[in-house]
Chain A
Amino acid sequence: MSRTFIRGERTVKVYAMSRTNGNYSGTISRRHVMKLSGVAGAAALAGCTGGESSSGEMTANSDGVFDVTLTGATNEGVPSNMHLNPMATQNYDWVAGNHVFERFAAYNFETGEFEMAGLSDWSFEDDTVTLTLRDDLKWDTGDDVTADDVITQFKLMEKTEATLWDFTDSVEQGADDKTVVLTLSQSTNPEIIKHTLANSDLRIHGYQPVYNEFLDQDAAAVQQFEWEEDVHGNGPFTFDSKSNQAWTLTRNEHFHNAEEVKFSTYELLNRQDNNALQQGLMGGELDVVSSLFVPPSVVEGLPESVEEVTLPANWGYGVIFNHDHEDFGKRKVRQAIAHVINRQQVADNAGPRTKNPAPKVTGISPADQEMWLGDTYDSFESYGPDATQSEEATALLQEAGYEKSGGTWQDSDGNALGGSYMTPAGWSDWTTATNTVVDQLNAFGFDFEINSIPTSDFYSAYTESEFAIGAFYWMPGGARSAFPYFPLRWQLNNPDIGGGHNFEETEYTIPAMEGSGEMTINPFEEIRTVATTQDEAQVTETIQRVAWHSNQNLPLLGLVEKQDQSWLTSDGWDIPSADDDARGVKWPSHWLPKQGKLNPSEQ
C-alpha cells in the first residue's frame, strides 16, 4: 500500500522519504511544505495554524477515497502489548476496538434517543426482544454477519456473566439468519434493555471461526484470549498492524456505510498521559482525541481549528459517607454538610468550563432533572448550590446534638466533628475539588484533614469500609446513567465498591413529598420494580419517589457533574457544525466517520 504521510511527522523524515521513494506524490499538504522550509517553526511557536488552509492538493483514487490518515490517540497502553478481544479481562484496547467492531445501537445525548447502528431494528414484546441485524452488516472478509454469530457471542457472554443475562433466559435465531430473539426471564422495562444493548463497550465481535472453540470451555478461556492475528471485524476500519508506537487501521470496504468513509487510514498513537495528549492537540500532531480533560487555560491556547465537543459524562465529583460511622451515619450531619458546601465554587475552581453543579441534589443527571422530576422538581431541596447556607447547617447540627465551641463543632464527648477525608491522588481536578470542599467545611467549623491515596488503593479503602468520609463519583457514568433507574439504584448499593458505604437496605422515614408529614419508603425495593415495569407513568412516579429519597436522605452527596470533552479538528477535515445532532453520540471520533460526517476536506 502506498506510504501515507502522517500528519505532524518530522520534516526530515518526510523529506527523505520523498527523495528515496522518488514519488513525491501530491499527498503532502501545504502545511508540510511550509515546515520543510522551516517557516512553520515560527508560526507554530505563535501557536497558530490560523489563516492558512492546510489541506493541500489531495487526490482521491477511483472510489473517491483519499489516501489520508486521521490521527487519533489511545492511552490504554503500549499497542504491541494490547489486543482486540472485547471479552478479555485485560489489555483490550477499546479505542481501537470501537473502530474495528460495530455496535448494536447508540444513545444520542443531544436528542435523548437511541440510534441504530449494527441493528436495523429492535422490537420489545412482553417477554421477548427481537433484534434485526442490518442486511448489509458484513465481516471484513465479505461474509454476512449472521444471527449465529451474535448468538455465539451472547452465549459466551452468558459464561462471563454479562449484564445482558440479568434479564435474559435464552437466545435463539428468529425468522431468518438476520434475526435474533431474546427470551426474557421476566417482564422487563425496555429502557433497561435498550441501554444494555446500546452500551458502547458492547460490540458485535462474535466471529465464529475464532470464537466457536470457546463455547465449550470455561469463561476464563475466552477472557484470556488475546486476539492479535487474523482479526476480523465489521466496523468502518480493519486492523492492519500495531507497534510500540501506534495502531494502524485501514478502511474496511465491506463496512455497511463504506461509501461514506472517504479516507484510507486511521492511526492511533500511543500517548501515556493527559499532558502528552494536550500537547498533541496543540501542536497538531493529533487530529482527534476521544475523550480528554483539557483545563481552561490550555483550551485558550489551542489552535482555532481544534473543535471541542462537550457531552454529559453522567459522572462527577461527590462526597461519599460511611453510613456505619457514628457521625456521618446521621442524616442531619450529612444534610448539614450539603448545606455548607458551595457547589458552584467547587465547579469554578476545579473546572469552570467543564463542570457544573447539579441544581438539585439527587441521583439524576443534572441535564435531565427537570424532565424526570416534572412537577415535583420545585419541592426538591437544592441545598444552596452557590452558597454556604450556614444557618440551615447550624440548625441541623445543633438538632443532631453537636455544639460549636472554640470555632469547632464537637459532639457531646468533646470530639471534634471531622476526621480524615479520603481523596484519590491521581486526578488533579478532583484534588482541587477536594481542597475546596475541605476548606469550605473547615471554615464552617468542621475539622477535616485530607488523606490522599494512590488510585490503586483508593477503591480498596472504600470497599473495605475503612473510611469515614471521602470523595467519590456520585453517578456511575455512561449512557446508561441517562435513565435514572441506573444511577439511583447504583447510589444505593454502589456495586463499584461492593456496597462499602454501608447504606442499609431497609425502610426509611423521610418528610413527605407534598405537604407536611412523613412517608416511609424502601428505596431498594421500589427501584427494583422499575426493572420489571413497562408502564411509563408508573416508572416515572417510582423514579420520582426514589429520587426524593435520595434528595432527603443523601446516600451519596452529588456536587458537580463533569462534561466529557471530545476533540476534533477542522484543519484538513470536514466536521459537522455545532448544532448537528450527530455530535451527540459518544465518541465523536468513532461515530462521525461511520456516518460519513468526518472526512477529509476537498480543497
Chain B
Amino acid sequence: MKPTESESVDWRSGSTEAPDLTTRERLREIYDEQIRTPLFVAWADWRTRFGFLILAGYLLMAIVAVLGLWRDPSTNQAPRYLMAFENMQYPLGTTASGVDLAALIIHSTPDILLMITAGAVWATVVAVGIGTVAGYKGGRVDDVLMSFSDFVMAIPGLPLVIILAVTFSPENPILLGIVINISYWAGLGRSLRSQVLTIRENDYVEASRTMGVSTPKIIQKDVIPNLMPYITVNFVFAARYVMFASVGLYFLGVLPYSTQNWGVTLNFAYNSGALFSWSAAHWLLAPMVAIMGLSLGLILLGQGLDRVFNPRVRTRMTGKSESTADTDDEDTVTEVL
C-alpha cells in the first residue's frame, strides 16, 4: 500500500535474510509486529473496539447455541405472542406458534456466522489468488485472468444467485455462503491486481526474484503481507454483503430453508402481519435487530481496521509526502447493497 507502511513491515518480516535470528525469535518478532502492535493500535480506536465487542457477543451466542445452553426452538413451548420482557423465561417474547424468539435468534447464529465466514473466505481467497497471480505475472496470464474476471463482473450478482439458489437449493450454510458470494471476488481481484502491479516494482521483490525464489513464495512472503490491510478490510465487507443478500433472498422467498435463520424468521413475521400490529412487532424487531447488529459490528470493525492500516486517514496532520502514483486505488471501501 504505502511504501512507508510496506517498508516497515518488510525489512523485519525476514523472508530470506537475517540468518542469525532463531526461528523462535523470528516468530516472536512476527507476532510483535504483525499481531500485537496492530491490535494495540486497533484497540485504541473506538470503532474497532466496539466492532470487536459486538462480534464477540455474536460469537458468544453461537457458542451458547452449539453447547446447547439455551433451549431449542419448537412450537408451543410457551404461550403464544408473549411480548418482549413480559416473562423473563422468554425474554424476547414468543411467536404466533408459541416459539421462543430468543431461542430462534440464538440457534440461528452458528449457521449464520458459518455462512458469512464461508462467503467472505471464498471471496477473499479467490480474489487474492487471482489478483496476485495476475498482477505479479503480467502478460498472458494477466490477460486471461482479467478477461475471466471481467466476465464474472459483468454478471449481476443477485439474479445469478437467485437462479443458482433455485437450481441447487443449497441448505448447508457454508455452501450457501459461497453461492451468495460467488461472483463477489471479481471486483476485489481487480483492485488487488492493481496494487500488486505497484508492489512488484519494489526493490525487495526484485531482489527475491533475482535470487531465484519461486513465484509462489514471493507472492506469499513479499506481496501478500503488504496487501493484508486491504484484504482484511474487504473480508469484513464481504461478510456483510453475505448477510444482507441472504436476508434479502429469504425475504423474497427464493432461498430454501430447513433450519431457522434470521431471514426466515423475518419473513414469517412479515407474512403474519407483524408489521401492522403492535402485539406482534417484537417478532419482527428481534431478527431485524440481530441482523443490523451484526452488520453494524462488521462495519465498525471494517472501518476501524481501515483506519488502523491507513494511519493517514486518522488525521491529515500525520500525512507524509509520497508520489501520486501510489495514491491509486486507495479506496478500500466497496459499498454494496
Interface residues of A (CB under 8 A from B): 274-275, 278-279, 282, 294-298, 300-301, 345, 348-350, 425-426, 428, 431-432, 435-436, 439-440, 443, 449-454
**In-complex Cβ contact of B273 among A297, A350, A449 (8 A):** A297
| B residues in contact with A450, CB < 8 Å | 258
List residues of B (240-259) whose CB comes within 8 Å of A's CBs: 253, 256-258
From residue A317, how far is it (CB to closest CB) to chain B in Å?
Answer: 13
Given contacts A345-B75, A425-B257, A443-B74, 18 further A-B contacts (CB under 8 A): A275-B275, A282-B276, A295-B273, A297-B272, A297-B273, A297-B276, A298-B276, A298-B277, A349-B76, A349-B80, A349-B97, A428-B272, A435-B75, A435-B99, A439-B74, A439-B75, A440-B75, A449-B258
| B residues in contact with A432, CB < 8 Å | 75, 96-97, 268
Interface residues of B (CB under 8 A from A): 74-76, 80-81, 96-99, 166, 253, 256-258, 267-268, 270-277, 279-280
Given A275-B270, A349-B98, A428-B268: A439 and B76 within 8 A (CB)?
yes
A selection of 28 A-B contacts at a CB cut-off of 8 Å is A275-B271, A278-B276, A296-B96, A297-B81, A297-B272, A297-B273, A298-B273, A298-B276, A301-B276, A345-B76, A349-B76, A425-B257, A426-B253, A428-B268, A428-B272, A432-B75, A432-B96, A432-B97, A435-B75, A435-B97, A436-B76, A436-B97, A439-B75, A440-B75, A450-B258, A451-B258, A452-B258, A454-B166
Shortest Cβ distance from A350 into B: residue: B97
Complex CA gap A452/B166 in Å reads: 12
| B residues in contact with A297, CB < 8 Å | 81, 96, 272-274, 276-277, 279-280
Shortest Cβ distance from B74 into A: residue: A439
The reply to whether A278 and B273 form a contact with Cβ atoms under 8 Å apart is: yes
From residue B267, how far is it (CB to closest CB) to chain A in Å?
Answer: 8
Complex CA gap A296/B95 in Å reads: 13
Q: Could you say which of A274, A279, A294, A425 has the most chain B C-beta atoms within 10 Å of its C-beta?
A: A425
Closest 8 pairs between A and B when the two form their complex, measured CB to CB: A298-B273, A349-B97, A297-B277, A428-B271, A436-B75, A295-B273, A439-B75, A297-B280
The reply to whether B273 and A294 form a contact with Cβ atoms under 8 Å apart is: yes
From residue B76, how far is it (CB to closest CB) to chain A in Å?
Answer: 6
| A residues in contact with B80, CB < 8 Å | 348-349
From residue B185, how far is it (CB to closest CB) to chain A in Å?
Answer: 28
The reply to whether B272 and A349 form a contact with Cβ atoms under 8 Å apart is: no
| A residues in contact with B280, CB < 8 Å | 297
Complex CA gap A294/B253 in Å reads: 19
Complex CA gap A588/B62 in Å reads: 51
**In-complex Cβ contact of A425 among B81, B96, B256, B275 (8 A):** B256
| A residues in contact with B97, CB < 8 Å | 349-350, 432, 435-436
Complex CA gap A478/B304 in Å reads: 61
From residue A14, how far is it (CB to closest CB) to chain B in Å?
Answer: 26
The reply to whether B257 and A452 form a contact with Cβ atoms under 8 Å apart is: yes
Complex CA gap A237/B96 in Å reads: 41
From residue B103, how far is it (CB to closest CB) to chain A in Å?
Answer: 13
Shortest Cβ distance from B280 into A: residue: A297
From residue B265, how far is it (CB to closest CB) to chain A in Å?
Answer: 12
The reply to whether B268 and A300 form a contact with Cβ atoms under 8 Å apart is: no
From residue B336, how far is it (CB to closest CB) to chain A in Å?
Answer: 26
Complex CA gap A453/B276 in Å reads: 28
Given A349-B97, A436-B75, A439-B74: A300 and B256 within 8 A (CB)?
no
**In-complex Cβ contact of A453 among B256, B270, B275, B279 (8 A):** B256
Complex CA gap A428/B274 in Å reads: 13
| B residues in contact with A274, CB < 8 Å | 271
| B residues in contact with A440, CB < 8 Å | 75
| B residues in contact with A454, CB < 8 Å | 166, 256
| B residues in contact with A275, CB < 8 Å | 270-271, 275
Complex CA gap A206/B273 in Å reads: 43
Shortest Cβ distance from A297 into B: residue: B277
| B residues in contact with A295, CB < 8 Å | 96, 271-273
From residue A203, how far is it (CB to closest CB) to chain B in Å?
Answer: 32
Given A297-B276, A345-B76, A349-B98: A452 and B271 within 8 A (CB)?
no
From residue B80, how far is it (CB to closest CB) to chain A in Å?
Answer: 7
Complex CA gap A451/B274 in Å reads: 25
From residue B48, how far is it (CB to closest CB) to chain A in Å?
Answer: 39
Complex CA gap A345/B279 in Å reads: 20
| A residues in contact with B76, CB < 8 Å | 345, 349, 436, 439
Complex CA gap A348/B273 in Å reads: 16
| B residues in contact with A301, CB < 8 Å | 273, 276-277
Shortest Cβ distance from A348 into B: residue: B80
Complex CA gap A443/B75 in Å reads: 11
Complex CA gap A426/B267 in Å reads: 11
From residue A560, how far is it (CB to closest CB) to chain B in Å?
Answer: 14
Complex CA gap A367/B4 in Å reads: 82
| A residues in contact with B270, CB < 8 Å | 275
| B residues in contact with A298, CB < 8 Å | 272-273, 276-277
Complex CA gap A454/B276 in Å reads: 27
| B residues in contact with A443, CB < 8 Å | 74
| A residues in contact with B96, CB < 8 Å | 295-297, 349, 432
Q: Could you say which of B74, B270, B274 has the most chain A C-beta atoms within 10 Å of its C-beta?
A: B74
| A residues in contact with B258, CB < 8 Å | 449-452
Complex CA gap A179/B274 in Å reads: 54
Complex CA gap A453/B171 in Å reads: 12
Complex CA gap A97/B237 in Å reads: 51
From residue A452, how far is it (CB to closest CB) to chain B in Å?
Answer: 6
Q: Could you say which of A349, A350, A426 has the most chain B C-beta atoms within 10 Å of its C-beta?
A: A349
Q: Could you say which of A297, A298, A431, A452 has the most chain B C-beta atoms within 10 Å of its C-beta?
A: A297
| B residues in contact with A439, CB < 8 Å | 74-76
Complex CA gap A275/B271 in Å reads: 7
From residue A459, how far is it (CB to closest CB) to chain B in Å?
Answer: 16
| B residues in contact with A426, CB < 8 Å | 253
Shortest Cβ distance from A434 into B: residue: B75
Q: Could you say which of B81, B97, B280 has the most chain A C-beta atoms within 10 Å of its C-beta?
A: B97
The reply to whether B268 and A431 form a contact with Cβ atoms under 8 Å apart is: yes
From residue B322, how far is it (CB to closest CB) to chain A in Å?
Answer: 54
| B residues in contact with A282, CB < 8 Å | 276
Complex CA gap A274/B256 in Å reads: 20
From residue A74, how far is it (CB to closest CB) to chain B in Å?
Answer: 20
Complex CA gap A454/B167 in Å reads: 11
Complex CA gap A457/B79 in Å reads: 35
From residue A389, how far is it (CB to closest CB) to chain B in Å?
Answer: 17
From residue B279, how far is it (CB to closest CB) to chain A in Å?
Answer: 6
Complex CA gap A296/B178 in Å reads: 39
Complex CA gap A74/B73 in Å reads: 37
The reply to whether A349 and B268 form a contact with Cβ atoms under 8 Å apart is: no
Given A349-B80, A425-B253, A454-B256: A300 and B271 within 8 A (CB)?
no
Complex CA gap A440/B77 in Å reads: 11
| B residues in contact with A436, CB < 8 Å | 75-76, 97
| A residues in contact with B271, CB < 8 Å | 274-275, 295, 428
Complex CA gap A123/B275 in Å reads: 53
| A residues in contact with B279, CB < 8 Å | 297, 300
Complex CA gap A274/B271 in Å reads: 8
